[in-house]
A and B are shown apart, each in its own frame.
Chain A
Amino acid sequence: MNPADTAFVLFSAALVMLMTPGLALFYGGLVRSKNVLGTIMQNFFLLGVMGIQWALVGYSLAFGPDIGGLIGSLQYLGLNGVGSEPIEAYAKTIPHAAFMIFQAMFAIITPALITGAWAERLKFSAFLVFILLWGTLVYDPMAHWVWGDGGWLKGLGALDFAGGTVVHVNAGIAALAAALVIGKRAGYGKEAIIPHNLPMTVLGAGLLWFGWFGFNAGSALAADGLATAAFIATHLATCAAVLAWCGAEWLIRGKPTTLGAASGAVAGLVAVTPAAGFVGPMSAVLIGAGAGIICYLAVLAKPKLGYDDSLDVVGVHGFGGVWGALATGLFASRAVNPAGADGLFFGNPAQLGIQALAVLVTLVYSFVLSGILLKLIDAVLGLRVSPEEELAGLDLTEHSESGYSL
């Protein structure tokens, strides 16, 4: 066991944990003030719900001994047997439990991403049921397929360093399903529904950027050159994405915006997530720049597509994740990570095909299952608050609280 690696992974786990409250603030600032607590509460409460779910069953389903390439067994139920001895298959130099708790933070933030799609209109009880089911039936299997020892997508050679498919494409397409099933907010397209606190959103974006170093660099599971490469790729891609999004805004709309800079940063972070430990710094710049432009255009196109994905989860995490996963198939280089593969630009076009397959599988599985879960919950519980409650705001109706008593 290596003390530096262990310290690094534990610290990275803490960094990723901070991303969930960071996301809460990012989303919170984007909604109207009457819904700020409703939005923040969903994300913050997820820390509790998914933390326990992970310890009870999630970790075992995702990373337990493989069954048919599809799911882990329940051998680690209640973290049974997950102790200080390293687990060879995943991380040789840190305690098994350190790997588990690091992964826990990913299981928490992935469903949190989806909350942006149904902002300002989803019942808290329906949210809870959906998130528990989704975490167990969508996230855990997907994590197993891509990262699990024996997982079938991993076996096919799909490269996903820290969660392009498992986290972002997954959440992104689930968000589309949610937006379609739940329907638009009252007044969407007619009233001006604008962010109420962009300084809070930018604070959230800053916390996300900071925490993402744990997300990506920590996924090296060691305090070494690969973690460093992933750290640098993460940073440079984000820098490029900020410039690209704001540059595109400046050209198309005439002014760069603060929200654009914050959104660009997130888009870059999303796109570099699958690539971070496989690509060089200049490739990271190109990946980030691509994300800034692609995600900005996706967000511009949304009004024409007709669905109310309130906080652009599809545009940023969906499109950004797909671009990042495919870009990994372009820019991956064995020179950066001998345990990875080469991408198309380094002489191996087949990798792009494998990446595309992983993306397709994620899109289909997550979209279909998320849609089914939502329809089921709608039939049993009802998904949306009533029109009067939507008007009054979720802070009051779901939590009897007021965000600001100024």
Chain B
Amino acid sequence: MKKIEAIIQPFKVEPVKEALHGISVEGMTVTEVKGFGRQKGIREVYRGMEYQVDLLPKVKIEIVAPDDKVQVIVDTILKSARTGRIGDGKIFVYPVEEVIRIRTGETGHAAI
């Protein structure tokens, strides 16, 4: 089992969600985050003074999936989240040791 963590542009949340529904992804966790990579911050102006705002809003989507679904999920996210401009984000894949469903106590693949 793997965890797929995708940091994407906030305006890409709906397209990514819809695309993942299309490949029967059962669930995900979505968090609002701030961050930066190569995308420089933005300049804001208040009462004539300019400020560099470096932490930009992004969205983090986390999905836990069986190994054989990881590639199709990653490809789907890549296609739906990409704009081609700096700031599109990144995807990280981590190994998952255990998954447990709280309601029933099921573990492993049955709990995903």
Contacts and interface: CB of A to CB of B under 8 A. Distances in A.
A312 B45 contact: no
A299 interface: yes
Contacts of A194: 44, 46, 51, 53
A303 interface: yes
B71 interface: no
Contacts of B44: 194
Contacts of B48: 249, 252-253, 296, 299-300
Contacts of A252: 48
Interface in A171-216: 192, 194-195
Contacts of A255: 45
Contacts of B51: 192, 194
Contacts of A396: none
A257 B46 CA distance: 8
Interface in B43-89: 44-49, 51-53
> How many interface residues does chain A have, given as a range?
10 to 19
Interface string B12-40: 00000000000000000000000000000
B44 to A, nearest CB: 7
A249 B44 CA distance: 13
Given A192-B52, A192-B53, A299 B45 contact: no
A263 interface: yes
A259 interface: yes
Contact of A253 (B45, B52, B53): B45
A263 B51 CA distance: 18
Nearest to B51: A192
Contacts of A111: none
Interface string A229-253: 0000000000000000000010011
B49 A195 contact: no
A190 B82 CA distance: 35
A259 B47 contact: yes
Which of A192, A194, A249, A303 has the most chain B CB atoms closer than 10 A to its own CB?
A: A192
A164 interface: no
**Residue of B44, B46, B47, B51 contacting most chain A CB atoms (<10 Å):** B47
A299 B49 CA distance: 9
A296 B47 CA distance: 8
Contacts of A296: 48
Contact of A195 (B46, B52, B53): B46
Contacts of B49: 303
B45 A263 contact: no
Contacts of A263: 47
A28 interface: no
Contacts of A300: 48
Contacts of B53: 192, 194
> What are the 3 A-B residue pairs with the smallest beta carbon separation, nearest first?
A192-B51, A300-B48, A299-B47
Interface of A: 192, 194-195, 249, 252-253, 255, 257, 259-260, 263, 296, 299-300, 303, 312
Interface of B: 44-49, 51-53
25 contacts: A192-B51, A192-B52, A192-B53, A194-B44, A194-B46, A194-B51, A194-B53, A195-B46, A249-B48, A252-B48, A253-B45, A253-B48, A255-B45, A257-B45, A257-B46, A259-B46, A259-B47, A260-B47, A263-B47, A296-B48, A299-B47, A299-B48, A300-B48, A303-B49, A312-B47
